[in-house]
Amino acid sequence: MRYISTRGTAPALDFRDVTLAGLASDGGLYVPEAWPRFTHEQIAGLAGLSYVDTAARVMAPFTAGVLSEDELRELCAAAYGRFAHAAVTPLVQLDHDHWLLELFHGPTLAFKDVALQLLGLLFERFLTGSTEHLTIVGATSGDTGSAAIDAVAGRSGVDIFMLHPEGRVSDVQRRQMTTVGAPNVHNIAITGDFDTAQALVKAMFNDRAFSRRFRLSAVNSINWARLMAQVVYYFYAAVRLGAPGRPVAFSVPTGNFGDVFAGYVGSRMGLPVAKLVVATNVNDILARALADGDYSSRQVVATPTPSMDIQVSSNFERLLFDLGDRDGAALAAQMQGFEASRAMRLSNAQRDGSAALFAPERVDVDDMARAMRRACDDAGETIDPHTAIALAAARRQAQVGVPMVTLATAHPAKFRDAVERATGSRPPLPTRVGDLFEREERYVTLDGTFDAVSGYIAARAAARD
């Protein structure tokens, strides 16, 4: 399998190099040269497989030429052995047509662990025997940061610099990052919002001299391997609910468009996906883009769902590329226009293509809180605010007889204040996260500017060398 850039001019890479690369050298994102297709029989053959076996089977076409299905299985067994539930991503039925897909049983209590536990092992495997040293730079609105840090803390050959927007992540999220004492972990709180942090990360990749000098690498969903690992749970859940014989719908709390894009990949691979509900909070650029073609970014508003407080959704570019006939030159021009003016219109092909599968829903704080209370009252389930956004959207979009799966992306204990405000009860911290509030925090605060952040990283990286 080879990977090509959405902007058309970066060199094509194999799976090893795309995993280590991050952003493509032309500023684009890597996608597979062609989508692998599973037949009806191959999907039916996933029934009854464990999560690890499903993962190896679903991901094998993407790693072809670099890792075999057996090698993938071994890595997945190690990655998912750290999850607290035997099913790794269990389904919980809420009522006749609604299910929750619990993605938060990993070490840092959010769906990011599913991909990042594997990514940490992939880095280790690909760097073994090499003298390369990676400098991972990442941006987080809370969950990617802790999952990535857990996955690479203490590993040799890697340093991680993680940017989070100061004061805009929950206290649990921040402490999960800043109390990790490993010397290769560097936390940076920046002034500004998540979009500022993500733009800084992309600017560092786009500075080719900087990127080459420090061998930058990515843990955000810029990195194809992140999305690949997230495709697995769409297959795992859909097959348990009757696929390939029965289509299944998914509702996905969406910010950077990575998780829901993984669902799109599943559908391109032949999974019968009835609908992908793109559930946003009031930072609704995606809902607007999918509803009427208006992709224009506004000021980020802080909400009780901080991990979705995003206005520039990185992975939307992958969808626009795929729906726009994979024309890299046209997409590069479209994205450069957006970068200059913070606004663009989707083409007719992009609008029609997305309308066939995606159903956008914007959910405000009141509807979110109602969904949390209803899950408690009707099904005895405490859900986190991000999951509640998607569940509220799912209830608007459900069709009788089509199973609707809401992705439960975080453990409610990560957002205890918001859960308590909505439901009146405060979820306890699972023992897995231990003495989070007794450990010492370690981070620096910097201006959210290129010079401040790249200067800090350069100084730390030079001190290491």
Ligand X SMILES: Cc1ncc(COP(=O)(O)O)c(C=O)c1O
Which residues have a catalytic role annotated?
Answer: 112
Six-digit token string for 377: 């009252």
Largest CA distance in the chain: 61
End-to-end CA distance of the chain: 35
Phi, psi (deg, nearest 5) at residue 77? -60, -40
Residues in the chain: 465
Q: How far is the CB of 190 from ligand X (least distance, A)?
A: 17
Q: Please report where in the chains the tokens 């669902």 appear, as a residue.
A: 263
**Residues of this chain, 202-221, that bind ligand LJ64HWYM according to CB under 6 A:** 220-221
Q: How far is the CB of 407 from ligand LJ64HWYM (least distance, A)?
A: 13
Position 107 contacts ligand LJ64HWYM (CB under 6 A): no
Position 409 contacts ligand X (CB under 6 A): yes
Counting residues that bind ligand X (by CB under 6 A) gives: 15
Reduced to 3 states (helix: H, G, I; strand: E, B; else coil), residue 225 is: helix
Position 256 contacts ligand LJ64HWYM (CB under 6 A): yes
217: left (phi over 0), alpha (psi -120 to 50) or beta: beta
172 binds, among ligand LJ64HWYM, ligand X, none (CB under 5 to 8 A by kind): none
Candidate segments 20-28, 60-68, 257-265, 334-342, binder of ligand X by CB under 6 A: 257-265
Position 89 contacts ligand LJ64HWYM (CB under 6 A): no
Candidate segments 43-51, 67-75, 251-259, 321-329, binder of ligand LJ64HWYM by CB under 6 A: 251-259
Six-digit token string for 118: 């594997």
Residue 173 or 454 with smaller CB distance to ligand X:
173
Interatomic CA distance for residues 263 and 247, integer angstroms: 13
Q: How far is CA 35 from CA 3, 39, 270, 292, 418, in A?
A: 11, 13, 10, 27, 40
| Nearest alpha carbon to residue 290 among 231, 357, 209 | 357
Residue 143 or 367 with smaller CB distance to ligand LJ64HWYM:
143
Six-digit token string for 448: 């959210």
Q: How far is the CB of 65 from ligand LJ64HWYM (least distance, A)?
A: 26
**Residues of this chain, 14-73, that bind ligand LJ64HWYM according to CB under 6 A:** none
Interatomic CA distance for residues 182 and 75, integer angstroms: 23
Residue 255 or 448 with smaller CB distance to ligand X:
255
| Single residue of 135, 176, 281, 314 touching ligand LJ64HWYM by CB under 6 A | 314
Interatomic CA distance for residues 29 and 176, integer angstroms: 28
Q: Can the peptide bond before residue 244 be classed as cis, meaning omega within 30 degrees of 0?
A: yes
**Residues of this chain, 143-182, that bind ligand LJ64HWYM according to CB under 6 A:** 143-145
| Single residue of 5, 54, 140, 176 touching ligand LJ64HWYM by CB under 6 A | 140
- Is-contact 252 277, C-beta < 8 A? yes
Six-digit token string for 282: 């009031």
Position 280 contacts ligand LJ64HWYM (CB under 6 A): no
Phi, psi (deg, nearest 5) at residue 23? -65, 145
Residue 43 or 121 with smaller CB distance to ligand LJ64HWYM:
121
Interatomic CA distance for residues 117 and 108, integer angstroms: 10
220 binds, among ligand X, ligand LJ64HWYM, none (CB under 5 to 8 A by kind): ligand LJ64HWYM
**Residues of this chain, 101-130, that bind ligand X according to CB under 6 A:** 110
Q: Please report where in the chains the tokens 């975080």 appear, as a residue.
A: 410
Position 313 contacts ligand LJ64HWYM (CB under 6 A): no
| Single residue of 141, 280, 311, 454 touching ligand LJ64HWYM by CB under 6 A | 141
Residues forming the site for ligand LJ64HWYM (CB under 6 A): 140-145, 220-221, 255-256, 258, 307, 314
Residues forming the site for ligand X (CB under 6 A): 110, 143, 221, 253-259, 307-308, 386, 409-410
